[in-house]
Chain A
Amino acid sequence: DTGVSQNPRHKITKRGQNVTFRCDPISEHNRLYWYRQTLGQGPEFLTYFQNEAQLEKSRLLSDRFSAERPKGSFSTLEIQRTEQGDSAMYLCASSRGDRGLLWQETQYFGPGTRLLVL
């Protein structure tokens, strides 16, 4: 299967703990995105990478959040000192990146990591 994979699928943690999620994009996709989705809402953009460079961060991404994409392959999203408001589904997506052709812009989403902060 060459789709986007995310681990873990579920994470329960206590308030104040740190958590880290991993995303493996589709091979050869040079863009990788992180979104957050809360119940009853559409996904909200957090940040994206072009290869290993983090090019844009949303205001939603507070200083407790950090994302990396070493070597332009997989990415990790870390949340430090978790708060109950961080409970959400964290979605990763990847795309080929070129905006010239419609199919190249398609963002393919992984299954998400559902975080519950107690």
Chain B
Amino acid sequence: QQQVKQSPQSLIVQKGGISIINCAYENTAFDYFPWYQQFPGKGPALLIAIRPDVSEKKEGRFTISFNKSAKQFSLHIMDSQPGDSATYFCAASGSEKLVFGKGTKLTVNP
């Protein structure tokens, strides 16, 4: 049972481009939506998080867009850099545990 669906599975963008990763959820009890970045051999690190009472949140080059009625949220990475190459996970929580998507492997070519 996959409660958070993430797409695409992999993404290749050129340096300076915009990377967009999408997630959809089913459980309307979810009220916390973080995005994590993970490099090989490392644990996930929080990038940015949002609650459903706002439709957008921006931190630096990273923006979350949230559509409560569609039960969808997305991560936009502006001016993508080679150092952004990593796996990105969306997640959702309505209690204590995080439910993660399957991840998107982002490659930013120089």
Contact between B46 and A108, CB atoms less than 8 A apart: yes
Contact B96 A56 (CB under 8 A): yes
- Complex: chain A residue closest to B44, CB-CB: A109
Number of B residues contacting the other chain (C-beta, 8 Å)?
25
- Within 13-47 of B, Cβ neighbours of A (below 8 Å) are at 32, 34, 36, 41-46
Known: A56-B96, A56-B97, A102-B32. A43 touches B102 (CB 8 A): no
Query: Which of A43, A45, A58, A93 has the largest number of chain B CB atoms within 10 A?
Result: A43
Decide: A105 near B101, CB < 8 A? Known: A91-B43, A110-B43: no
Out of B34, B51, B89, B103, name the residue touching A106 (CB < 8 Å): B34
The answer to whether A42 and B42 touch (CB under 8 A), given A56-B96, A105-B93, is: no
Q: Can you list, as one digit per residue, whether each of A81-118 has a CB less than 8 Å from chain B (1) or not (0)? A: 00000000001010000010010011111111000000
Q: Which residue on chain A has the smallest CB distance to residue B105?
A: A40
Q: How far is the CA of A58 from the CA of B96 in the complex (A)?
A: 12
Q: Is the beta-carbon distance between B89 and A42 smaller than 8 angstroms? A: yes
**Across-interface contacts of B106 in A (CB, < 8 A):** none
Chain A residues with Cβ below 8 Å from B42 are 111-112
Q: Please name the 8 residue pairs, one residue from A and one from B, whose CB atoms are nearest each other, closest first.
A: A42-B100, A109-B43, A45-B97, A109-B44, A42-B89, A111-B43, A112-B43, A43-B100
Query: 6 other contacts beyond A33-B98, A107-B34, A111-B42, with CB at 8 A cut-off?
Result: A55-B96, A93-B43, A102-B32, A107-B46, A107-B98, A109-B44
